[in-house]
Amino acid sequence: MSDAVLLLLKELRLPGFARHYKTLWQTAADSGWSHADYLLALCEYEMADRLQRRIQKWRRESQLTTTKTFATLDRKPFSGQNQRSIAKLEQDVEWARRSDNVLLIGPSGTGKTHLASALGHALIEQGIRCKCFPAIALVQHLQQAKRDLDLMTAMTRLDKYAVIIIDDIGYVKKTDAETNVLFEFIAHRYESGTLIVTANQPFSAWDSIFTDGMMTVAAIDRLIHHATIIELEGESYRKQQYVEKTKSEVKRETT
């Protein structure tokens, strides 16, 4: 009988049921559950299993760095205001469901990419699908689609991700081809999908990204409308780590 049940559950694609129906049946018998109570408990296990499988799949496809999470984020260098803004984004993810943006601006090594990745992981845990792209890789992907006369299809395919992370937007080359597809993508996502953008340059220097001043203004206008802007300051984490490592090595050599 149990083999037949397992076969049917496999055919019905109910692995949660298959894993738990025996142990739950014993619990139900010992506790005097009704049939409805037993079925409800099985359904809850199945839903929990499906959620975990979905989260695992979304993590794999997100291209997020597995080690860059809130658990590993050093918040001490951030200002009090930035810490409060980050905590708000982490604890209440409705901004992503409203298609609001997050812009992380600051010098290299101040934690922008780590923070963007941590937000991505937190969103996936809350059932919000996201995808991370280095800005150059995204632009190259869109350029190829445009050459294939398939740009709109390519952008529409990315709509399945409620949140797109564009990392290091300042490294996009200032050419008509790259600028145009990047602007088209920003315009396409406007008020329909969230963008998390990291940039080394302040907005006043974004003329180095876009070839046309009016396009620069239009792109910034779309990004900052309904957005949380976090400006990060301080020394590069990588520089600090190098200095600390050098000091340790010198100390070992002199002892």
Together in a domain, 93 and 129: yes
Residue 42 belongs to what domain range? 2-61
Please indicate, yes or no, if residue 174 is contained in any of the structural domains. yes
Q: What are the tens digits of pLDDT across the range 10-69?
A: 777 888 888 888 888 888 888 888 888 888 888 888 888 888 888 999 999 999 999 999
Please indicate, yes or no, if residue 244 is contained in any of the structural domains. no
Q: How many helices (H) and strands (E) does the chain have?
A: 11, 5
Please indicate, yes or no, if residue 243 is contained in any of the structural domains. no
Overall domain count for the chain: 2
Together in a domain, 165 and 184: yes
Three-state secondary structure string covering 199-214: ECCCHHHHHHCCCCHH
What are the strands, taking DSSP E only, across the chain? 101-105, 130-134, 163-167, 194-199, 227-231
Together in a domain, 107 and 158: yes
Q: What are the tens digits of pLDDT across the range 83-95?
A: 999 999 999 999 9
Together in a domain, 169 and 73: yes
Q: Compute the mean pLDDT over every residue in the chain, rounded to the nearest whole number.
A: 88
Together in a domain, 150 and 225: yes
Q: What are the tens digits of pLDDT across the range 215-252?
A: 999 999 999 999 999 999 866 555 555 445 444 544 55
CB atoms within 10 A of CB 98: 10
Together in a domain, 82 and 176: yes
> Would you say 247 and 121 are in contact if contact means Cβ atoms under 8 Å apart?
no
Closest CA to 102 of 84, 124, 86: 86
Together in a domain, 47 and 84: no
Residue 149 one-letter amino acid: L
DSSP character at residue 79: -
Together in a domain, 33 and 85: no
